[in-house]
Amino acid sequence: MRNILSKGDNVLHEKKLKFLEEKANQIREEIIKMLLSAGSGHSAGPLGMADIFTAFYFHILYHNPKKPLWPDRDRLVLSNGHICPVQYVTLAHAGYFPIEELTTLRTINSRLQGHPHRGSLPGIETTSGPLGEGLGQAIGMALAARMDQKKYRIYCLMSDGEQDSGITWEAVMFAGKNRLNNLTAIMDRNNIQIDGYTESIMPLEPLKEKYEAFNWHVLEIDGHNFEQIVDAVHEAKAIYEKPTLIIAHTIPGRGVSFMERDYRWHGVPPNKEQAAAALKELRTLGGKIQSEHQ
User: Residues 94, 57: contact at Cβ < 8 Å?
Assistant: yes
14-292: what fold? Rossmann fold (3.40.50)
User: Residues 134, 165: contact at Cβ < 8 Å?
Assistant: no
Average pLDDT for 120-143: 94
Q: Which of 159, 161, 167 is nearest to 185 (CA)?
A: 159
Looking at residue 6, its pLDDT comes to 41
Average pLDDT for 20-48: 96
Looking at residue 12, its pLDDT comes to 85
pLDDT band at 259 (very low <50, low <70, confident <90, very high): very high
pLDDT band at 24 (very low <50, low <70, confident <90, very high): very high
Give the pLDDT confidence of 215-256 residue by residue, as tens digits.
Answer: 999 999 999 999 999 999 999 999 999 999 999 999 999 999
Average pLDDT for 267-279: 96
Give the pLDDT confidence of 151-185 residue by residue, as tens digits.
Answer: 999 999 999 999 999 999 999 999 999 999 999 99
List % helix, strand, coil for the chain (3-state, nearest 5): 45, 10, 40
Give the pLDDT confidence of 57-106 residue by residue, as tens digits.
Answer: 999 999 999 999 999 999 999 999 999 999 999 999 999 999 999 999 99
**Residue 66 vs residues 69, 91, 171: alpha-carbon distances, Å:** 9, 11, 32
Give the pLDDT confidence of 178-224 residue by residue, as tens digits.
Answer: 999 999 999 999 999 989 999 999 999 999 999 999 999 999 999 99
